[in-house]
Each structure stands twice: as C-alpha cells, then as structure tokens.
Amino acid sequence: MRALSGWRPSLRMAWREVRRSRGRSILVLVMIALPVLAVTAADIVIATQDVSGVESMDRRIGAADASVSFTTGAGRVIQAFDPDDGMTWDSESDKPAPGVADVRRALGRDVRTVERWEGSTVVSTDKGRTDALAAEVDLADPLTAGLYDLTDGRWPRTEDEVVVNADLASRGPGLGEEVELASGDVRRVVGIAESTTYRSHPSIAGPVGSFGLSERTTDHTWLLGAGPVTWDDVLALNALGGTVVSRAVIAHPPPDSVLDPEIASWAGGTDDAWLAIVALVVVMALLEVVLLAGPAFAVTARRQSRTLALMAAAGGTPRQGRRAVLAHGLVLGSLAAVLGVGLGIVAGRLAVPVAQRWDSTWFGPFDVPWPHLLGIACFGLLGAILAAVVPAWIASRQDVVAVLGGRRGDRKASLRSPILGVVLLGAGVAGAAYGARSTSNGEFAIAASAVVAVLGMILLVPLVVVTLARVARRLPLVLRYAVRDAARHRTRTVPAVAAVAATVAGVVALGIALSSDELENRATYVPQVPMGDGVVSFGWNTDATAADADAVVAAAEKSVPGLRATAVQGVQTDRPDGSYTFLSFAAPGGPQQLLSSYGGTFGSDVLVADRVPPGDHLGIDAAGRERADSALAAGGVVALADGRLVDQVAGLDRVRARVEEMDAEGQPGAVRKRTFPGAVVTTGSHSIGPQAIVSPAAARRLGVPVVPANVLLDGASIGRGQQRDLDEAVSAVADQASVYVERGYRASGETVVVQLVLAALGAVLMLGGTLTATFLALSDARPDLATLGAVGASPRKRRGVAASYALVVGLVGAVLGAAVGFIPGIAVTYPLTGNSWDLGGTAASHYLDVPWLLIGGLVVVLPLLTAGIVWVSARPRLPMVARLD
C-alpha cells in the first residue's frame, strides 16, 4: 500500500495531462494501439480458421455421438483421443470387415446406426464430365444433421435422387435436372446442399448405393447414436479394427497416461526450435512497439520538463520525476491496450470473410480467444511502459537550471553509446555470417543476430544525426534548419528515427528472404511441356484403348478452336495388377547417365512411335529430330539426354536397352537386354519427359506391352476457362484421362498474400510511425516554429521546415533500416535456398534476389510521401507562444 500511495500523485498528474493534451494523447494512443489492433485481428482470424476437435464435430459426424470407420485389411487400431492427431494399426487382418452386430456387441448395448461411404465419382456436366467428391449417406436422418447445409430443394429419399453443391450445379446439373454417372446411371438433382467442410470443389451426395462407392473404396463408416461413447468403448472398437471419432472423448479427454506409448510419443514435448522462433518474434514485436511509442513519451517528457524541474527545485527526488513520466506510460498504455483489443475484435470480424476466400475449407465459428487477447493487451501495456523508461530516466537527470532558464536542447552526445552500437552491430554481422554458414539451425542464429543488429543501429542513431548536422551546411535553408534542429533535440529525434529504421529493417529482411525464395522456386521450376502447350495423360497403369485416344483427340480439337491434338503410344510400365516393367537405356561409349530425371505427365517414360511426335514437347532441335526420325524409321531406338551432354553424345549411334520385370510384391523377374541401332539426342526443354522413344519394331523385340500413353496438345493457346471445358470434354470420352496445361511457375496464393501483407504492413507502420512521430516532434517544436514567424519567416518557409523534419526522420530511418535489414536478409537466403533440387545439374548453389522496387519505395517514396502529407497538413500560421510554459 505504501508503494501504491507513492504512485497516486503521479497517476493523477498523468491522467490530468492526458485530458489536457488531447491531440498529443490521441497520437500516442494510435502509436500503441495500432500494433495491438493488428495482432488482435490476426489472432482472431487464425483462431477462427483453426477448427478445433470440438468445433469440428458436427461437420465430421453430424448429430451422432460417434463414428466408427473400418478399413479393409486393418487389424487392431491404435489412436489418439482424436484420430486426426494420430492413428495407426499394429497388425493386418484378412477377416471380413465388422458389421453393425459386431459394433453393438463391442459396445455391449443396442445402438442406432447410419451407414456412410465417402469417395469420388465422375459426373456429367454441360461440357462433358468432371470429378466430384461423393458421399453416400441418408441425409434425411437426424443423425446426419450438420454434414451438409441444404440451401435449396429437399434431401434425396431414394438411390436415384441426389443433392449437388453450387459449384457443380453451375457447370450443368442444376436443381430438377438429371446428372449422368460414369456407369451410365442417371440421378435426379432434388436439392442444392453445401458441404460443411469443403467449399470450392464439386460435390454430390445421395443415399447408400447411389454411386457404387462400396465397390471402390476401402473405408466403411457408421454414424452411431449410442449415447456418450467413452474411452473404454473406443478401445473396444479399436480392437475390432475401427477408428473412432467420439464426441464425448474429444470434448472431455481422459488423462494422457491412458494413451498407447507409441501414440503418446508422437505428441510428446514441445519443439525447442518452435519456442525459439516464438521468443524471437515476441522480442522483435515488443521492440517495435517500444520504438513506435518511444517518440510519444519523449515528447511528453519534454513538455513536462519545466513541471519536473519545478518539482525538483521544490525538493522532489529523481525517483518521483521518473514516476511522473512512467505513470503517463501506464495510463496511456492501459487505454491503448483496451482500445486496440476492442477495435481488433471488430477488424478481425471484418477480416474473416476476406480470409475465407483463400481457404478451400470452411472456417469454424467466429472465435475470440480471450486468454490470447489478455496477453496481447498486457503486451501493449508492457510496450508502453518500456517505451517510457528511457524518457523517464532522461527527465530525472535533466539540468534543472537550464530548463528553468528556458534553454532548449540536449546534452552533448556521449561516445559510449556509439561504441556500444558498433560492437553490437559487429556482433550482429558475425552472428548472421555464422548462421549463414551453419549446417543446422542457422536460422535461429540469424534471427537472434537481427535483434542484436537492430539494437546496435539504434545506439548509432545519435551519432548519425549529429554527423548529418555537421555536413548540412550546403543544404537549402529549410532542410539545413530541420537537420540541425533534429540534432539539437535528439531526445525526440532518435526514437522517431529508430522506429522507422526498425520497421524498414524488418520489411527489408523479410522481403529479401521472400524474393530469394521465389527466385529459387522460379529457377528450379521444371515445366512438364512447353509453355502454353498441354498434354492429356491416360495414367501410368492405364487400360485405355486406341478408340479412347481417338475420342480424346476429337474432343480436344472440338473444345478449343485451332488446337492440334496428337495421340502418342507408350510402354505400359505399370499394370493394374501391381506388377511393372523397369526400362533403362544407355549408349555404349557414352555417359553412364543420360538423364537427370524423367517421367512427368506423359503417362509413360518410354514412348513408342515411328517418328518424333510433332510440336516441341520433347525439346529436340531440328538436327536432332532428323537423326531421331531416321533411327526410328529404321526400327531403332532414340535415347534422350540432358542438354549439358551435347558434346559427349554427339555421334553415338547405338542404344542399349535393359528390361526388368517386377511382380506385384516387388520381387525381380526376368531381365532382357538388347542393343539397337539408333541415336542419342539432347533435349533443350529442361523439362521432365520420357527417357526414350522406341520404334514399334523395337518394342516388339523388347517384348513390352504398348498402350495409348497420352495426347499432346499444341497449336493454340488454352485459356483457364477453356481448360476446364477441355477437361470435362475429355473426361466424357475417357474416364481415366487428365489434362495438364503448362503455364510456367506461379507463386502460390499464400505467397502472394504474404508479400502483399508485408508491403502493406511496412507502408502502414512506416507511414503511421513517421507521421505520428513527426507530428509529436512538431508539437514539441511549436515555440521554435513560432519564433521563425516572429522573425519574418513566411508561412511557406514554416511549412517547409515541418515537411523537411518529416523527410529527415523518414529518410534517415529508412536508409539505416534498409542497411541493417540487408544483414539478416542476405544471411537467411543461404539456409533458405542452399538445398535446391536441380534438373540437369545447372542450378546455382545459392540464390539471392534483392527486391529493389520494394526497398526503393521504402527508402525514397515513403519519406517523400510523408513529407508531402506533413506539408499539406502543417499549419501555415502559428500563434506566438512563450518559450517557457
């Protein structure tokens, strides 16, 4: 109580100052509340997107108490409380799958059951056919409530009635229409229903038997209306070979000690690496909050300097002076934390629908994680208090006589801070270099070195500002005045510059890492076929016929005007019974390995033809094509080689083929070797394709089965909408066929979002931090600006001084931050891009891409934009104020 009573006067003074200086207080609230708001909104979106086991019950088992799934051939099941967290089985079984009677016997009571099958099926559309997620279940039964949301029509009652989702209905089989299955059976659409799990893929559902899933899938599920299913019940069903999702167990799990040791070990312990990452993120975020709020409390302390000097002259102690400034941080931090969390909840609510568009599964119910938000609020409050520590310490050591005499300015800069800053900056560079060279956990050393480097940079800011002031003699008046004023009032300048620099450093480091990672992905991307072309593959264990290939050719050319479709045969290396044929090719006298990789989307790694297929799918040049056509026409074999081997394979005219048969269990069988006249040609496409082309005569000599492998597509551009129409048209004539169109490397949607968020976050924090710090500093500089007017400075000059001060803060902070951001940014690219998979051995061992446009925007555009905003918003005329207040 005694300690608390000592704080009461300081808290009253702080509250009175907040109400008296509303404009400055609002700026301080914005500085602190902005990070709290952003983190709160992000936490709410993540919590809503993360569907917990309890929240997922209705979408997984409907209104049932539990579900039990049996997999053909599975023995005793070992699972976690929620099987999604881990499950396996310790044996195999050749017994028939258990039925309802076995389930009831294991539970020791009568239960109501609803049968459920899940899989996929092929259905007709206006353009042909498409794959759809399929479910067989009685959706009219109360136990299934929650699996689907009926938006129009009614639930199906018989096997010839189904419901489809809106995505599938938009392609043809709408409400009241008929949809044809791959088997030729017809079903009537009686309702539009959306899955409560998946949102962006065609789906169809009907009663058991509607799609024949029981004949094609190995998982059989029963929904149980049995009352609470306990952990003992789960173990009893596990013994039968069933995987159980129990509402009661997931909602109220028993102690972890009852779990099987194998399952318990999967979730045992906390990842130390993850804890290290979380700790570093928290430290960096706290440092950012402190730096953003630092200028506010520095200016507040300057405004209170005369009051604190009078307090000291009247016998006040330095501790009481520090309390006065810290109390200001406590009051504003508390208000900002509450305000930030409140507005963050609103922002999170608005952001959830936007984030949902990027996810293929439905989010859970709107989730406000109150324990997290309490921690975030405390985080904001702690940041405000820490931001007030340095101004409080400086205020307690101020020269009372100088302040009471009206002399403004800071003491001469000490050399201790710059020396320590250089040491810390050097340590940061050394740590980043060590992390870049480290073979394990180098990312953590780099992240830690980033924090050290930023701290070192902050300590160097006073020296940089003072140095700039000394070399500013040739600058225009307004810039010269702003630079020298910034150096004279380092107490308010340094926190503002440091806040901008820390923001820019983080954005630059992450920007370099993301850009370099994208460069690696783009450089190592392996196209399947030439850009803009396509291929229709029949699969590796196809049973397609020549008639299927001809039908695909006709359907493809009809779907896309001007498209050329060419059917190509290949060796059937994988067969439906599980056996397969392994082929390899070599050139006597040539390199031991001709291709780094082969396969891809061609449906076979050995094509069969009497000439090279038309188009540029294989990347063979004109001279190589002529040699290959001659070899194939003579009944020979053409082996393909990497482009880097062009000199080593020149002139090779014989190819040795090796054929090894393997049974379904992987046991080797007969081995055949043949040598053919032929050619070795290089492929310049740098793509994954077949390893060889054999003539029909050579295929007969090798004794390998030949089947339709693919249909090559070229001659016309295939748009995205055309591709979906083409896919459906092809599926209508060949169920097993799939269409691939090469569009080159595309950054994932998540990567694009992260890059946009990174740029937006950097811009908002830098603009917000710079503007707020600048306006606070200008508020502190009002007496000086008023003096300018008193000695004849025009309103334009006063605006120029204000804008120049903003330019100095933004530009110096951006340059320093960009320089420091290069340290961890470049270092992290080594562990991030150092292990590249390479086709052909031509990839670099390390990739570095500096996003100069992003950095240029941060270093040049944003400071100029900030200065422009200050120019427009600065008051051209200020009333004359007393230099002593």
Look at residue 439 and tell me whether its pLDDT is greater than 50: yes
CA terminus-to-terminus distance, the chain: 34
Residue-level pLDDT at 511: 83
- The reported pLDDT for the residue numbered 835 is 59
**Mean pLDDT for the stretch of residues 318-336:** 82
Are the C-beta atoms of residues 422 and 332 closer than 8 Å to each other? no
Q: Read off the pLDDT of residues 228-277 as tens digits, 9 standing for 90 and up.
A: 999 999 999 998 889 999 999 999 999 888 888 878 766 544 444 455 55
Task: Kindly report the average pLDDT of the chain as a whole number.
Answer: 81
Rounded to whole angstroms, how far apart are CA atoms 45 and 367?
A: 8
- Does residue 404 surpass a pLDDT of 70? no
Number of H helices, E strands in the chain: 27, 22
CA atoms within 13 A on the CB side of 789: 17
Contact 153, 191 (CB under 8 A): yes
pLDDT of the residue at 473: 85
Which residues are within 8 A (CB) of 36 and not within 5 positions of it... i.e. 6 or more apart?
336, 337, 339, 340, 341, 344, 376, 377, 379, 380
pLDDT at 290 exceeding the cut of 50 = yes
pLDDT winner (highest mean) among 317-326, 491-500, 508-517: 508-517
538 close to 734: Cβ distance less than 8 angstroms: yes
Q: Is 596 helix (H, G, I), strand (E, B) or coil?
A: coil
pLDDT band at 881 (very low <50, low <70, confident <90, very high): low
Q: Collapse the DSSP code of 742 into the 3-class scheme (helix H, G, I; strand E, B; otherwise coil) and give the result.
A: coil
Between the ranges 22-36, 523-537, 546-560, where is the mean pLDDT highest? 546-560
In this prediction, residue 54 carries a pLDDT of: 85
State the number of CA atoms in the 13 A half-sphere of 361 facing the CB: 11
The residues facing 192 across adjacent strands are: 152, 164
State yes or no: pLDDT of 336 exceeds 80. yes
The answer on pLDDT for 703 being more than 70 is: yes
Q: How far is CA 343 from CA 41, 94, 763, in A?
A: 8, 60, 20
User: What are the tens digits of pLDDT across the range 365-376?
Assistant: 888 889 888 988
The answer to whether 202 and 727 have CB atoms below 8 angstroms apart is no
pLDDT at 273: 47
- Amino acid identity, residue 224? L
Taking 70 as the threshold, does the pLDDT of residue 831 lie above it? Answer: yes
Q: Considering only 116-125, 530-539, 620-629, 784-793, which range has the smallest mean pLDDT?
A: 784-793
Q: What percent of the chain has pLDDT over 70?
A: 85
Higher pLDDT, 676 or 357: 676
Q: Cα separations (Å) of 151 from 165, 757, 847, 863, 879?
A: 9, 35, 50, 52, 66
Which residue in 446, 324, 311 sits closest to 16, CA to CA? 324
121's enclosing H/E stretch is strand 112-124
DSSP collapsed to 3 states, 311-359: HHHCCCCHHHHHHHHHHHHHHHHHHHHHHHHHHHHHHHHHHHHHHHCCC
Is residue 196 within 8 A of residue 168, CB to CB? The reply is: no
Torsion angle in degrees (nearest 10) through CA of 306, 311, 314, 317:
-130
Question: pLDDT tier at 355 (50, 70, 90 boundaries)?
Answer: confident
- Residue 564 has which token pair? 């050329």
CB 665 within 8 A of CB 600: no
Task: Please tell me which of 294-298, 356-360, 490-494, 549-553 the model is most confident about, judged by mean pLDDT.
Answer: 549-553
Q: Summarize pLDDT for 706-733 with one digit per residue, the tens.
A: 888 888 888 788 887 788 888 888 877 7
> Residue 117: beta bridge partners?
136
Region 25-39: mean pLDDT is 80
Q: Across residues 312-325, what is the average pLDDT?
A: 74
Phi, psi of 595 (to 5 degrees): -120, 140
Using alpha carbons, select from 460, 548, 458, 557 the residue that is nearest to residue 502. 458
State yes or no: pLDDT of 841 exceeds 60.
no
Give yes or no for residue 529 having a pLDDT over 90: no
Q: CA 692, CA 638: separation in Å to the nearest integer?
A: 6
Q: Which residues contact 185 (CB under 8 A, 6 or more apart)?
A: 160
CA atoms within 13 A on the CB side of 98: 25
Lowest mean pLDDT among 247-251, 313-317, 446-450: 313-317
Q: Is the dihedral of CA 446, 449, 451, 456 positive or negative?
A: negative
Q: Are 359 and 51 in contact (CB under 8 A)?
A: no
Q: What is the pLDDT of residue 244?
A: 94
Average pLDDT over residues 507-521: 84
Strands 580-586 and 242-246: unpaired
Side-chain-facing half-sphere of 532: CA atoms under 13 Å: 8
Phi, psi of 423 (to 5 degrees): -60, -45
Checking if the pLDDT of 391 tops 60, the result is yes
Q: 553-592 burial, b if ≥16 CB within 10 A, otherwise e? A: bebbbebbeebbbbbbbbbbbebeeebbbebbbbbeebbe
Q: Give DSSP secondary structure letters for 43-87.
A: HHHHHHHS--TTTTHHHHHTT-SEEEEEETTB-SEEE-SSGGG-E
Please, are residues 773 and 807 in contact by the beta-carbon 8 Å criterion?
A: no
State mean pLDDT over 839-862. 79
- Looking at residue 869, its amino acid is I
Per-residue pLDDT of 109-134, as tens digits, reads: 989 999 999 988 888 888 778 888 99
Return the pLDDT at 818. 92
Identify the residue with better confidence: 491 or 710: 710
User: Which two tokens mark 776?
Assistant: 């606070």
208 has a pLDDT exceeding 70: yes
User: What would the two tokens of residue 8 be?
Assistant: 């009461």
Going by pLDDT thresholds of 50, 70 and 90, the confidence category of residue 540 is: low
Distance CA 859, CA 812 (A): 9
The mean pLDDT value for 613-631 works out to 85
All structural domains of the chain with their residue ranges: 118-216, 464-525+749-885, 534-741
Q: Quick one: tokens of 872?
A: 């427009």
pLDDT number for residue 749? 57
- Tokens encoding 63: 């209104």
Compare 846 and 225 and report the one with higher pLDDT: 225
631 in Cβ contact with 694 (< 8 Å): no
